[in-house]
């Protein structure tokens, strides 16, 4: 059995940057906080926790500020790649918390563009998941006055076709559905039937803000998966792009299986397999895929046909 790791898998540059910033401060400070899980991968979270990275949430700000004040220190809190809404920065400033901003530059640019169109009076539509950390940050820059949809159907039911509209996307969503949503809205917003039965041209913009490092992997992953007898896709269950990329691999190779932990491997998956491919999300560390490769080679290399 030959086990191969997809050469195009693993951390995107935004995640690499965030982890590097975290490790740099951990070396300097010994311990720092991160607001929310640094990435959607439990194994990498555990590795960084062992180095001194403590995960906190917004409701912990007052506590850590009070504890640090008693010690005469300034608490340091890392903002992860997903970004945060403006209120988080204001609250940290009020409490004397130092923020280490590791927001992915792609996400920062998305927030800037949403704010620009919101200030110009556009109806803002976001293709994404309303409670995803990245989208919460984007909602914050437009005072939560936006429409967040996950499907074309939701968009058609939620959008006011009479308003000038701008469509954005969460950076880790799938491009195919985004384009379908764009096309469906574009027809209705551009030529809208009103009470006078006249066609009114309404300005509409669609901003493709899907991260190229996510969408750019889809074709390569599909090609790689198609060459393997079995595909194992390893990622955190909460990873949005992990779900997107897993579905790409599954479509190309029905014998594709999603796991978060090596212990989830099942013997029957490997029956008759001569080649096994491994891939992961943009939040899946290389070391975890290497560990998975070794485990498969040790456990299943001699599975009979």
**53-56 and 32-35 beta bridge pairing:** parallel
Segment 218-224 long-range contacts (CB within 8 Å, at least 24 positions apart)? 218/174, 218/175, 218/244, 218/245, 218/248, 220/6, 220/8, 221/6, 221/8, 221/9, 221/245, 221/248, 221/249, 221/252, 221/279, 222/248, 222/249, 222/251, 222/252, 223/252, 224/6, 224/8, 224/277, 224/279
Tokens in use for 74? Answer: 């300034």
| Cα distance between residue 243 and residue 214, in whole Å | 11
Which one of the listed residues 44, 84, 134, 260 is annotated catalytic? Answer: 134
The two counts, helices (H) then strands (E), for the chain are: 12, 14
Tokens in use for 201? Answer: 């041209």
Contact 25, 32 (CB under 8 A): yes
Tokens in use for 59? Answer: 């409701």
Sign of CA dihedral 61, 67, 71, 72: positive
Phi-psi region of 167 (alpha: psi -120 to 50; beta: other; left: phi over 0): beta
Nearest Cα to Cα of residue 224 among 263, 184, 178, 278: 278
98 flagged as catalytic: no
Tokens in use for 119? Answer: 């200030």
**Residues with a known catalytic role:** 134
């Amino acid at each position: 059995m030959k086990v191969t790791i997809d050469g195009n898998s693993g951390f995107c540059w935004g995640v690499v940057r965030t982890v590097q910033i975290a490790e740099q401060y951990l070396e300097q400070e010994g311990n720092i906080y991160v607001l929310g899980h640094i990435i959607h991968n439990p194994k990498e979270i555990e590795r960084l926790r062992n180095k001194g990275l403590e995960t906190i949430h917004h409701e912990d700000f007052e506590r850590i500020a009070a504890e640090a004040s008693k010690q005469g220190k300034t608490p340091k809190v890392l903002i992860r790649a997903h970004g945060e809404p403006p209120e988080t920065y204001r609250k940290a400033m009020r409490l004397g918390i130092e923020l280490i901003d590791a927001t992915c530059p792609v996400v920062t640019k998305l927030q800037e563009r949403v704010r620009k169109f919101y200030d110009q009076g556009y109806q803002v539509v976001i293709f994404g998941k309303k409670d995803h950390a990245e989208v919460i940050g984007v909602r914050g820059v437009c005072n939560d006055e936006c429409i967040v949809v996950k499907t074309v159907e939701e968009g058609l039911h939620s959008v006011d076709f009479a308003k000038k509209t701008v469509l954005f996307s969460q950076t880790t969503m799938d491009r195919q559905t985004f384009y379908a949503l764009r096309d469906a809205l574009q027809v209705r917003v551009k030529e809208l039937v009103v009470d006078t039965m006249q066609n009114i041209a309404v300005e509409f913009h669609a901003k493709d803000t899907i991260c190229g490092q996510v969408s750019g992997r889809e074709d390569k992953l599909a090609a790689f998966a198609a060459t393997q007898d079995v595909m194992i896709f390893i990622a955190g269950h909460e990873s949005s792009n992990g779900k997107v990329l897993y579905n790409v691999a599954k479509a190309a190779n029905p014998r594709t299986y999603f796991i978060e932990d090596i212990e989830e491997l099942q013997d029957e998956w490997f029956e008759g397999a001569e080649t096994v491919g491994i891939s992961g999300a943009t939040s899946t560390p290389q070391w975890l895929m290497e560990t998975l490769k070794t485990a498969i080679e040790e456990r299943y290399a001699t599975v009979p046909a």
